[in-house]
Amino acid sequence: MPVRILILEDDPFIALDLAAIVEEQGHEVLGSFASVAAAAQHLDEPVDFALLDIDVADGKSFGLAAALRRRDVPFAFVSGSHRSEIPAYLADALLIPKPYRHAAIVQSLPRERRAA
């Protein structure tokens, strides 16, 4: 069964590229959202993993990342932000720097769905 992945990215070209990488790995993109508010509306859906830009149109994604963590949903930040900008409570999160390498995104993706 494909892994269900949420994408938060406000640059439409990067969002399309991330979605293409996810889908070429056989996974399902639950949605690609340009704002934290839009992505947050989908947190009650079954999500296995998330790729999160840190700085998006309506602010930083740290609150969304914390909500994912409370639900035991793994995620990776895909961002041009520096690690020092990440709050201490998320400091252990995977950070894939932009411009990212295709292989870095692929390596971050889980191989199977989370246990329900």
Higher pLDDT, 115 or 10: 10
Spatial distance between the Cα atoms of 28 and 110, rounded to a whole number of angstroms: 12
Are 7 and 53 spatial neighbours (Cβ–Cβ below 8 Å)?
A: no
- Percent pLDDT > 90 in the chain is 93
- In this predicted structure, what is the pLDDT of residue 116? 62
Are 52 and 8 spatial neighbours (Cβ–Cβ below 8 Å)?
A: yes
**Which range marks the domain in which residue 80 is found?**
4-108
Digit-coded pLDDT (tens) for 47-81: 999 999 999 999 999 999 999 999 999 999 999 99
- In this predicted structure, what is the pLDDT of residue 113? 83
The answer to the question of residue 114 being in a domain is no
CATH, residue 20: 3.40.50.2300
Please tell me the total count of domains within the chain.
Answer: 1
Q: Which has the closest alpha carbon to 4: 32, 40, 35?
A: 32
The answer to the question of residue 30 being in a domain is yes
Please count the residues of the chain. Answer: 116
